[in-house]
Structure formats: C-alpha cells, structure tokens
Structure 1
C-alpha cells in the first residue's frame, strides 16, 4: 500500500539509518503483456512522484544475505506517492522535468528526469515479457541522480521534513519521526 502527501513516516525501531529516495513514477493505464518498447508509452496513464523511504542499515544487511531489500524498503508508510497523478497527455516529455530534493526547506539536490538510468518504455517492455501489466500498477524509476541522502551522506533525523518536487507535478512533502 502507498501513503500520500503529508503522511507521517515513522521509521522502524530496527533501523538507525533512515533515508529517502526521489523517484519518478508512471502509472499503467492500459494493461498488456509482451508490450513492445515502441508501444509502451500508450500504456501509461500518468506520472507522479514516488518517495521510496529506506532503512539503509537493514537494507545493507539483507542484501548481503541475498534476501533483497525486503524490510529495508518495506515498513509502514515507506512508499509514498503524490501529490497528484498527472495524466500523460499533460506531460509531453517526461524526460525533461526539473527535480528538487529539500530537507527542512534546504535544497539538497537539483536534477532532471533526463538522468534516469532507464526510461519507462524500457521498464514496460522488460516487465511485460511473459507477465501481464494491469491498469493501476505503478512503476518507479529508481533513484534519480542526487535524489537520496546516501549520495550526500546526509541521512534523515527525527523531525525532518522531506520535500520532493517534480516540475508539472508538484511537491510531495512528508514528516519523518523516529519510532
């Protein structure tokens, strides 16, 4: 499940190192299977901001054990989207949007969706191979350049306010509290 704008994020007691991740996300509007890259964009309903909160210390331990990120990424309100879903027709070029990360009003990073490692068309083609994508599914971009505390060695603290802004979508704001 996803949390929304202004939701309080309480990091779990098993973690001492909390982080955020600025991700850009697309929402599938038309389902399909074995979707060709050339047709992939026609399956996108819209775009939103995705904050993939991360318990970095738990994530590191789990990844060494080959369990994947698991509890480092999966805890109450760890997946936040919003503030709105903007329809695809309102964003003609999703790879030319300014993005900003702020902690307590101070800009930590500014970048662009042009720095995404993979485009949504690539994701859709890959994920839909032998698997049906359904309307309403959300695909995150992975962290967009400079969009996490790990890259700046600035992890979250009790009481921090995280703001992720993407041009044409708005600002996704969340308060962080130690559990």
Structure 2
C-alpha cells in the first residue's frame, strides 16, 4: 500500500488516503494518516479492502499536489552508514576515519517536525554558503495492539515499522560546523527544512527486499541538476531498521507518527562526503534541483529557494563571573 496526503488545485482542504496505480483515493469515513498510523497495518489493510470494493472518488495523481505524507510526532535522524561517517569526517579534519564509539551503538539527533517539506516544493534556505542535501530512507512508526512503544525488544520494534518514505535532511554545513564545535547540535544548520515523500510505502510491500541479515537491499540514488552524484544500497547500514527503532525506544518511547531517518547513505549520499573525498563539486545554490529516488519507495524532487535573511543575534557578553552581588541589595524574602 501507498499512503499519501494531498491538496487539489481548486481548494485548500487536505485530503488523505491511498495511492492506487496513478490515482489518489481518500480514506473511508474521513480517516486521516494519523488515524491509520495509530490503528496499525491491519486496520490499513481493512481500509484498503473497503476502498477496493466501494465506488470511492478518485483523482489522477498528476492532478493533485502531494504534501508530506505524515505530520510527524517527532523526527529522529540516525547516522547509520559507515562510509558516510568516513567521508564527512575527512571533510572536517582532513583525515577521515570512524571513531570507535560509532560502532558501539546507533546515534541520532532530534530535528524539527515543523519545517517538513513535500516533493515539488521550493525549499527556502538560511544565509549559508555551504548548502548540502542528505539522501536517506526513513521509517514511519505505527501502532501495535498491546504495545506502548516503550523499551521495545528488536522483534517488537520491527512490528512498529508501519512503512517507509524518502527523506532529504537539508544541511547548511557552515552553520552546522560552528555549532558542532560547541559540542551540541546540530541546530540551525539543520532545522530549516527536511523533505519527506512522496508517500508512505507500507512495510509489507518491501518484504521481498530484506536480505538474509535483515537489511533492506534497496538502491538509493541522488541527482543534482540532472547529474547522478550519489548511489548506494540501503543495506550498507550498520544496523537494520528494527534495531534503530529498538534503540530509539530504549528507556524511552516511540509513538505512531514518529519518523526515524536512516542517516545519509554512502558513496555520494551528500556533498559533504564527496568534499571529504576530494571531489571538486560546489555547494548547492538557489535554483538547483535535487532529485532523490529509492527503489521500491519513490522519488522526491525539490528546487533550492532563495536565502532568507534573519534578525541578527548578538554575540555572547563576556561577564565578570562575579560570585557576589554589587550595586544593589537583595530584597528580603517576605516569608
């Protein structure tokens, strides 16, 4: 099944439902993607069967504008590809390599669920001179009867994988570099935009791509202005997706609508990796087109928008670090 959200050119109402061949079909009973994710895969199949048996209204896919297929409850983005870590590390310190801690357990950061973009959308950018893309596959979490999503085993975590979508984690590398030197973040280098789409492909649709070790052997590709710049297999991850979900839920909880990105694929999944490997390829600029495709899932296309000026923030004030008050007296506590 493919599940999407869309608007039609002559209206502002959001429609949510299935993509069937080259048409979109609304869910019965005005259900939403959030409803379907909460109920889980079995309920989604029942809705799909109802749509197939009813004379449900349809529109051609080409006649609607797709929205991000989910309004995320939260977004965690992992860094699960060793080759990506090697290349980006080299772009930072000129040496590359992978720290031993990377192998010990998955690592992720939380990013902004409020700046998610759709395929076809122009993505406005901050005042950056080193704009980058990141090609990823993302998991969308669904509900499972009898499970709270907390402290999941790997097997139970796999049951919570409702489906997958393509993800582009847009990155302002110059802003990110400053932030990471403070040993916190990334923040403003990332939170201005993230593309999800074009739809959610349910997990059962990809079962034939799972290899003997539990990894999804899907081909992932990215083009800039029509030129192929990166290609990899998703199965080159360090951990299969159920293990990422289990780690996210460790001493914590995952809920329906959570999105978990795989992290950037290797072999050119982002420009930062290519820069680290000595490739002379420029950062993205307004007007550039980025096209990403993952086998069995779909394709997202975005054009880079203009830089958006923001109000300046002053530098930190250097204070005296005094431990005593001066120039005024403390007010006595009324009690």
State whether TM-score is above 0.5: yes
Shift of 1:60: 0.4
Partner of 1:25: 138
Shift of 1:40: 1.6
Provide, for residues 147-173 of structure 1, a one-character-per-residue CA deviation record: whole Å limited to 9, x for no partner: 001122332122110001000111110
TM-score scaled to structure 2, two decimals?
Answer: 0.51
Contact 2:120 2:300 in 1 (8 A): yes
Contact 2:161 2:242 in 1 (8 A): no
Aligned length, in residue pairs: 176
1:73 matched to 2:190: yes
TM-score scaled to structure 1, two decimals?
Answer: 0.94
CA distance in 2, matches of 1:128, 1:42: 13
Please identify, of 79-88 and 31-40, the stretch whose mean Cα deviation from structure 2 is larger.
31-40
Alignment of 1:1-179 (within 5 A): 1=114, 2-13=116-127, 15-30=128-143, 32-75=149-192, 78-92=193-207, 93=210, 95-145=216-266, 146-153=268-275, 154=281, 155-179=283-307
- Structure number with the bigger relative contact order (C-alpha 8 A, sep ≥ 6) is 1
Q: 1 or 2, which has the higher strand percentage?
A: 1
SS at match of 2:230: strand
Shift of 1:117: 2.8
CA distance in 2, matches of 1:80, 1:119: 22
CA distance in 2, matches of 1:135, 1:59: 29
Provide, for residues 59-96 of structure 1, a one-character-per-residue CA deviation record: whole Å limited to 9, x for no partner: 00000012211000011xx1110011100010112611
Gaps of 5+ in 2: 1-113, 276-280, 308-335
Moved over 3 A (4+): none
CA distance in 2, matches of 1:133, 1:44: 10
Gaps of 5+ in 1: none
